[in-house]
Amino acid sequence: MSLPKISVITATYNAKETLLDAIESILAQNYCNVELVVIDGGSTDGTTELLAPYRDRIDVYISEPDEGIYDALNKGISHATGDVIGFLHADDLFADEFVLSTVAEAFAADGVSAVYGDLVYISKVTPDKVIRYWKSGEYAVKKLKQGWMPPHPTFYVRCEVYQRFGAFDRSFRIAADYDCMLRFLARAKLECVYIPQVLVKMRVGGASNRSLGNIIRKTMEDYRALKGNGVGGLKALMWKNFSKLPQFFKRQA
């Protein structure tokens, strides 16, 4: 059985403090067929110099101004040459060195187009401290109407899916990842495999929760994504928001 080439895209902008943790987390994977794609939005904090010792292990490196995170991710997708595409942002870490091997094994089953797992939010200053545990659970189309979604940083998709159904809609400023997953799951009806283990550790402090304005904007964009993909409306949006509450009390098994 041939091993799928997995492209891992890391988008970064002035994230010098955490970027190397992400890069080293990717390079530490025991899976051999990995393409590392780094898209830097023209950082001014010394990111280019920081990455200089790693350049021979970074397969694609682009550093230039962009129009935000989704522009950077689309750029990464367009330059990726892997059979499977996933993301590890500059604030994130793989849970262990076996994540990509586990993802590759899940794609070995016939017809599988997407793979996802669990995620934990960790403290930015104390990475060992878990703030929130997002246990995804098995996928079912009907759960989308209840606001269910997999954690996007754990979501791996075959390259041809992006080619057929499109990448991130940049008219969304915060929720383009949610819109993209709804497009794949609700409209394209991809065959998914759930890996019941934590794949990614995400530092708290994402863009969607940085201000009241961003929270309101994200709520409006989530509603637009639900309606636009024929999944639901206000009821699904309410389910989506309230379903997050248990994640702050649940702990990893």
pLDDT in tens, 91-139: 999 999 999 999 999 999 889 999 999 999 999 888 889 999 999 999 9
Q: What pLDDT was estimated at residue 65?
A: 96
Residue type, 118: D
Whether residue 253 is contained in a domain is answered as: no
Q: Residues 203-220: pLDDT tens digits?
A: 986 554 555 678 788 889
Whether residue 207 is contained in a domain is answered as: yes
DSSP code string of 167-182:
S--TT-SS-HHHHHHH
Whether residue 30 is contained in a domain is answered as: yes
Q: What pLDDT was estimated at residue 232?
A: 74
Distance CA 104, CA 54 (A): 24
Whether residue 1 is contained in a domain is answered as: no
CA distances from 72 to 5, 38, 205, 209, 249 (A): 21, 9, 19, 20, 34
Whether residue 42 is contained in a domain is answered as: yes
Q: What pLDDT was estimated at residue 253?
A: 46
| Mean pLDDT score across all residues of the chain | 91
Q: Residues 214-237: pLDDT tens digits?
A: 878 888 998 899 899 998 766 666
Query: What CATH number has the domain bearing residue 209?
Result: 3.90.550.10
User: Where residue 241 falls among pLDDT bands split at 50, 70, 90?
Assistant: low
Least confident stretch, 76-85, 167-176, 212-221 = 212-221
Instruction: Give counts: helices (H), strands (E), the chain.
Output: 9, 9
- Cβ partners under 8 Å of residue 59, min gap 6: 35, 36, 37
Eight-class DSSP state of 128: T
User: Where residue 158 falls among pLDDT bands split at 50, 70, 90?
Assistant: very high
How many domains in the chain?
A: 1
**Token pair listed for 216:** 């309101």
Q: Which domain holds residue 182?
A: 6-248
